[in-house]
Amino acid sequence: MPISIPKKLNGNLLKLIACFTMLIDHATAGIMLPMIRDGLYAGGLTNHKLNLIYKILRGIGRTAFPIFCFLIVEGFFHTKSRLKYALNLLLFGIISEPFFDLTLYSKADKYDFNIIKVLTANSDILISHQNVYFTLLIGLLVIWGIETIQTRFGRILPLSDPMDMNLATVDGNINFISLILSGALAAGCAYLAQRLHTDYRWWGVTLIVIFYLLRDFGVLSLLGGYLFISNLGTEYLSFPAFILLLFYNKKRGKRLGRLKYCFYFFYPVHLLVIHLIRCLLFGLA
């Protein structure tokens, strides 16, 4: 008897979960980690317990990224304007970059409220990292390009639903022309992400491609995504994200209008707030 999974989570709820777990992750990396490294912790917990708490909180944070990658693919199919979608990712990537660098990668003067001073003092370090918006943007452009290739030459994989004829298929087999062209495009863009040192680098771009290519194959998309990303460091701890995605009902949720930009702004704002809290706690230490 097949197991029926209740589909209760829409896109908005998944975004909220991703934002909350990302907040936990970045607060741990931006406040707890430098506090311990710089010897500013004055409590009674042992180093072993502090390390355990740190690992648990960062483990919770691993939930966020796969959800964001998954929603990039869903957004690609449901947005009214893919160009506007891409431009929004680019714009907020640019807006977020100084706050990303400030909070997660600054070494000198990291407890100083003067943001310009901190960024200037760390300029040699900060240019070596780019925030996750750029990873998501590159991933979006890759799947856009793959769709264009498939529309011209046929699907890479056979259709899971024979009634779905939005894209042509070649005798139900793998289309090697599309496979080669799409593979070259994906590899080139993954290399670009690696060279730019975007967050999650080529791993993030590839995860988006996996979600896209296997989207019509249900749970196989999630299984393939997890088996891939779990090979990256502690990303095996992202397993709860893939469980949550099983409950996705393929609906956006309530239309938010301009309030949808709150999700975009959350990224730079929460990073800035974490830096300010760090300064309040340890700026005079």
Cα 244 to Cα 242: distance, rounded to the nearest angstrom: 5
Residue 184: φ, ψ to 5°: -65, -40
Question: What digits encode the pLDDT tens for the residues 120-147?
Answer: 999 888 778 999 999 999 999 999 999 9
Q: Facing residues of 9 across strands?
A: 248
Question: What digits encode the pLDDT tens for the residues 137-175?
Answer: 999 999 999 999 999 988 887 765 544 444 444 445 678
Q: Where are the domains of the chain?
A: 11-282
Q: What are 94's two structure tokens? A: 């640019």
pTM score, whole prediction: 0.91
